[in-house]
Amino acid sequence: MKTTWRKKLGDVKLVHCTISDEELDREFNDGFGAPEGTPFTAWSQDHVYRSGEYDGHDYIVGLPRNPPS
């Protein structure tokens, strides 16, 4: 299935990202096989996101920026 990192992030408003807008909007196949999405780390006001890959399937992991103590 063709998708982009921006589509996978949904309506998340980023404050910084390690890849360009063009790379966030580049279409790739996120199915199993070979990884196609450009690896990245991105920050929103409340979360840190990073790309992940397992057996060629590209996905996003999101973690809170300030986890509770």
pTM greater than 0.95: no
pLDDT digits (tens, 9 = 90+) for 11-39: 999 999 999 999 999 999 988 888 899 99
Q: What distance in Å separates the CA atoms of residue 59 and residue 34, rounded to the nearest whole number?
A: 13
pLDDT at 41 over 90: yes
pLDDT at 9 over 80: yes
Q: Where are the domains of the chain?
A: 2-64
One DSSP character per residue, 25-46 reads T--EE-SSSS--SPP-EEEESS
Q: What distance in Å separates the CA atoms of residue 65 and residue 44, rounded to the nearest whole number?
A: 8
